[in-house]
Structure 1
Amino acid sequence: MQQLEPDASDTYSYSEEGIQDQFRDVRRLGRKQRDARQVLAKRGFIGPPRNPVAIGKSIIRAGPIRVLPLSRQLSKSASPASSPSSPSSGEDDGSAADSDAAAAARLRDLRLAAATLIQRANSPPQVPFPVQMPDILRLPEECARCILDWTNERFENRAWNSSNDWGMELGPRMGLWTNQAGVAREVVLRGDTEAGFRMVQICFQQYQSIIQEEQPPEMLLKTLIVAFYMLQAGPELGASFVRYSASLFPIVLGKSHPISRIWHHINTLGVVAIRPYLSMILQAWWESLKRRLGPRHKELAVHRLELIRSLHRFGGLSMMSAKAGIEKIVDDMAADVKYWTLDYVMWAKLELVTIYVEAGLDTEAAELLEDIGRRIEASSDGGSGSSSYDIWTQTVYWYLRAQVMESLGLESDALESYQARYDACLKTVGPDARHTVRALGELERYNRKIGRIEVADELRAEFHKGWRIVCDRAAAVND
């Protein structure tokens, strides 16, 4: 009888370090089995084994080779009785049983090693230290949670009253502060850096007392608007305001305050990096107010329009989305004029014109302005010049018309519109009012642009005189 015995190197360990050596041994065993089959074929032994794993453990006989299935081999190893189909002796059966048992043990070792290797490949590596999710991934969800905490706390403590349309008025100082920051940006961009930065400094100084006294619902939106105002005036100025706000909120409101937590993320990422997430953050803010106030609250409509316009202005909302959102508000208001009044409807339409102007759609803006102008003129009371629309609706109309005419290159129409805006403010609030001084600066800039230098110089002198009064008045509020 001839029997193929395994070498000592054919034994396998359970250690993981020997996995690759074990597989090399398996390949070596396969080559030995192939060579053995070739030798047997030359000597007249025919018939391939049905179980290739057990070839080295089978008794080779003259004639066809029969290898029992592994399950029967294992049962024979437990009860070493002679196979009725095997003519071999008891000693041969014992040797075959021992050999089959060794093969079964080796096969179990191989299966265990393979399973261990597969489990290691499929399991993620264990990191021996904590890994924090980047702020950019946590920002929208974290800010939405902070906003919900803030609005719930303000309503539950009755700091904000939702009992009627005007029970939750805009923060008066917050609105004035935002407007002052916008004027300061325009003055800086116009080239009057020293004059503009004086108002910027005042806005920085005022902000602490504003958030201590008011904390109005629009505080988050207005602060973001001013941050982008400052960014437009200069990248470093925008970053400085964000850093200043991020350090101010924890001092005034506490580190755990929702606004402090939101502004921490904004400061970490930077005002430019958060631009793609502004829509999600501010939409969460508006939805939290909507849940408390209802969809027909007038102040909520104010917030909604300003939200859409601001997101479009600072790159957080496409022009088509902004246009569709404001058109829906216009349609809703026009369908119930008794509730919203003409000024609301006209104001919403002017916000749509603003979207067109900022997107460079001058033709669409001019067509809508023509319709608005006809309505304002038709509402005038005879020769008195009074109108059903308030003076601010009219001055915004003249300002937007001047911008569109200037963009279209219609010099005389643009100059007429800038002059009409200034005259309306001068007549309504006087020469030293913030709105009048702002309109005077716009008129001076355009006269200089079209070459009327002498007129522009005179207007600039008047502007600086009025601007000093406006800045002194704003600084006195904070004293």
Structure 2
Amino acid sequence: MVTPQQQCSPPAKDGDWNNYRDIIITLYLEQNKSLKEVMRIMRENYHFFATEKMYKIRFNKWGIHKKLRAPQVAELLAQRGRRAAAGKSTVSFVHGRKIDADRLEAYLRRVSPTSRKAITDILVGNVVPTDAQKRSVYEIVCRTPSPEPNPVFAPKRVEAPDSLRLPEDCMQIVQSYVKGALENVWPLTPDKRVICPLRPRTWLDPVSSARQLFVNNFREQGFRMLNITFESYREVLLRQDPSLLVETCLALGALLQSGPGLAEAFVKYAYSMSQITLGPRHPLHLIFGRLNAVGPAEMPGLMALIIRGFLQEIQANYCLKPTWLATVYRAMLNSRFIGADTATRYMQELVTDLNSLSPLSEHDAAKKAHNLDDMRLLQDHLSWITNFHDKPTEASMSAHTLAATRGRKNPRMTRFSCYNMLRTFPTSRGVSSQEAIDLMRASLAICEEEFGRNDNATVTLLATLHGFLARAGRAEEAQKVREDFETRWNEAMGDTLGGRIA
């Protein structure tokens, strides 16, 4: 019974719906309660007040329905058909509820001619689904069913102690995510190599830029650069490149070293955005929820575990490009996720694997040249770790690597060297102020040529150069560089708003 006090209570707002979304979905779908029961429980237990019409509008917005809809049936049929063609058995779930073949067949027997035509039009591509219809299929998962355990011989599950439950939980979610993505999301080459799209710039670049801007006291610009990352993250989530989870962890590692609260703000954003974009039961959302639940001190260890588990799960049966792995290992070292000895061992294993490949014939000249380029890049990474990491010469050697990779058709390595140089200059006691300024001016010319006048790396390099000139007492030069920085910054922000920066 609704009391007069409850009748006067304000209805739920958008923020309230987001906060209680998981609870409402669990009651309505997983526990199969009626809408009136859900309304009562939410009202009495959570003081959450909304009319039946408001619930129905919200369910439609979320794509939540107990009965199957035509777009969901079309997606289920398409996924099951692709998997059957590949010789895979399938178990399907919609919003976490199992949809067996009998239920799907029963739906198709009873469906109206109008709905049947809608399903056919979607399957053959005659219609483009609306946003609401797209949301209704986000929660569909089709995977290979787990084998049924023998009730006599199945071992009893041993519960992990409290200190291990979170890592164990994360590893299980990571394994589920990788298996599902390998089956349905990520493209593969015929030789079972996972394809990581080569992008000269990624959404991680603004994170690296923001870090340097904060270090050089350009805080307003640093927060603006982070906002660029936040704004582009939804598209990154929808794309779900194989590098997404690793790059999210690496971004958090960089932000942990940039200032208090920045990493926490980003992981909260990733957690919320993944719920909206992918749904509350998607493995990525569940992983980000675990990261959101720990403090800054525990976060690096958990992220290192997630990345390692992710890479191991893929490489158990598939392959990743060795140069991409090398870049990941180097970034993990920079973020203190692993030590230098571990990174060195990983790099050496990559070099050994590449050396063990069968010799190529003269007919494979292009592939042979490609492998040689890969080997040279791996050797560059290995040499940096063993000879320069955490040493006074690291910044100057990164500058020399930046020059050496110029024009080698590997923009990621060039960009990586630029940001590594900027990151390590403050601790490079073996480099004088004059040498640092000379190296930065030379690197600035390279970045302008390789990336453009208003690229993130170029503009961030100017901000760091300004700081060194100011500390060296060269006020007039520092002022000119600052003016140049502000001009390019405004141009870069204009390019970003115009959609011309990736």
TM-score (norm 1): 0.60
Q: 1:240 aligns with which of 235, 259, 265?
A: 265
The alignment status of 1:347 with 2:374, answered yes or no, reads no
Q: 1:202 aligns with which of 217, 228, 242?
A: 228
Residue number in structure 2 paired with 1:324: 345
Mapped partners of 1:258, 1:235: distance in 2: 27
CA displacement, residues 273-311 of structure 1 (integer Å, 9 cap, x when unaligned): 1322333321110012213433xx42xx24422332233
Residue number in structure 1 paired with 2:255: 230
Mapped partners of 1:415, 1:186: distance in 2: 16
Mapped partners of 1:181, 1:373: distance in 2: 20
- Stretch deviating more after TM superposition (406-415 or 199-208): 406-415
Residue number in structure 1 paired with 2:305: 280
Residue number in structure 1 paired with 2:486: 464
Mapped partners of 2:431, 2:392: distance in 1: 11
Mapped partners of 1:262, 1:163: distance in 2: 30
CA change 1:162–1:193 in 2 (3 A) is same
The alignment status of 1:258 with 2:280, answered yes or no, reads no
Q: After superposition, where does 1:290-369 map in structure 2 within 5 Å?
A: 290-294=315-319, 297-298=320-321, 301-330=322-351, 332-333=353-354, 338=368, 340-352=370-382, 355=385, 359-362=389-392
Residue number in structure 2 paired with 1:17: none
CA change 1:247–1:225 in 2 (3 A) is same
Give the Å deviation of 1:420.
Answer: 1.6
Q: 1:182 aligns with which of 190, 205, 208?
A: 208
1:279–1:317 contact (8 Å) kept in structure 2: yes
Residue number in structure 2 paired with 1:90: none
Q: After superposition, where does 1:39-438 map in structure 2 within 5 Å?
A: 136-163=163-190, 168-170=195-197, 172=199, 176-212=202-238, 214-294=239-319, 297-298=320-321, 301-330=322-351, 332-333=353-354, 338=368, 340-352=370-382, 355=385, 359-362=389-392, 376=404, 393=413, 406-438=428-460
Mapped partners of 1:191, 1:328: distance in 2: 40
Identity %: 22
CA change 1:304–1:373 in 2 (3 A) is closer
Mapped partners of 1:340, 1:352: distance in 2: 19
Mapped partners of 1:342, 1:243: distance in 2: 42
Mapped partners of 2:399, 2:219: distance in 1: 33
Q: Name the Cα RMSD after superposition.
A: 3.7
CA change 1:440–1:268 in 2 (3 A) is same
| Equivalent AA in structure 2 for residue 209 of structure 1 | E
CA change 1:137–1:391 in 2 (3 A) is closer
| Equivalent AA in structure 2 for residue 450 of structure 1 | A
Q: Secondary structure at the match of 1:477?
A: coil
| Equivalent AA in structure 1 for residue 229 of structure 2 | C
2:402–2:443 contact (8 Å) kept in structure 1: no
Mapped partners of 1:421, 1:368: distance in 2: 10
Residue number in structure 2 paired with 1:474: 496
Q: Secondary structure at the match of 1:235?
A: coil
- Stretch deviating more after TM superposition (228-237 or 396-405): 396-405
Residue number in structure 2 paired with 1:92: none
1:354–1:400 contact (8 Å) kept in structure 2: no
2:271–2:285 contact (8 Å) kept in structure 1: yes
CA displacement, residues 383-427 of structure 1 (integer Å, 9 cap, x when unaligned): xxx866756656766776785795313444333321221111223
CA change 1:351–1:431 in 2 (3 A) is same
Mapped partners of 2:462, 2:368: distance in 1: 36
Give the Å deviation of 1:135.
Answer: 6.7
Give the Å deviation of 1:258.
Answer: 0.8
Give the Å deviation of 1:209.
Answer: 2.5
Q: Which runs of 5+ in 2 are unaligned?
A: 1-158, 358-366
Q: Which runs of 5+ in 1 are unaligned?
A: 1-131, 378-385
Give the Å deviation of 1:346.
Answer: 4.0
Aligned pair count reads 332
- Bigger-Rg structure (1/2): 1
Mapped partners of 1:367, 1:203: distance in 2: 29
Give the Å deviation of 1:269.
Answer: 1.4
Q: Secondary structure at the match of 1:284?
A: helix
- Stretch deviating more after TM superposition (443-452 or 393-402): 393-402
1:147–1:284 contact (8 Å) kept in structure 2: yes
CA change 1:321–1:343 in 2 (3 A) is same
CA change 1:151–1:393 in 2 (3 A) is closer
Q: Secondary structure at the match of 2:429?
A: helix
CA displacement, residues 315-363 of structure 1 (integer Å, 9 cap, x when unaligned): 3212221223224434555777936545433433443465469852236
Bigger share in helix? 1
Mapped partners of 2:449, 2:474: distance in 1: 24
Mapped partners of 1:365, 1:447: distance in 2: 17
Q: Secondary structure at the match of 1:407?
A: coil
CA change 1:271–1:346 in 2 (3 A) is farther
CA displacement, residues 5-59 of structure 1 (integer Å, 9 cap, x when unaligned): xxxxxxxxxxxxxxxxxxxxxxxxxxxxxxxxxxxxxxxxxxxxxxxxxxxxxxx
Mapped partners of 1:373, 1:432: distance in 2: 18
1:399–1:418 contact (8 Å) kept in structure 2: no
Mapped partners of 1:422, 1:473: distance in 2: 20
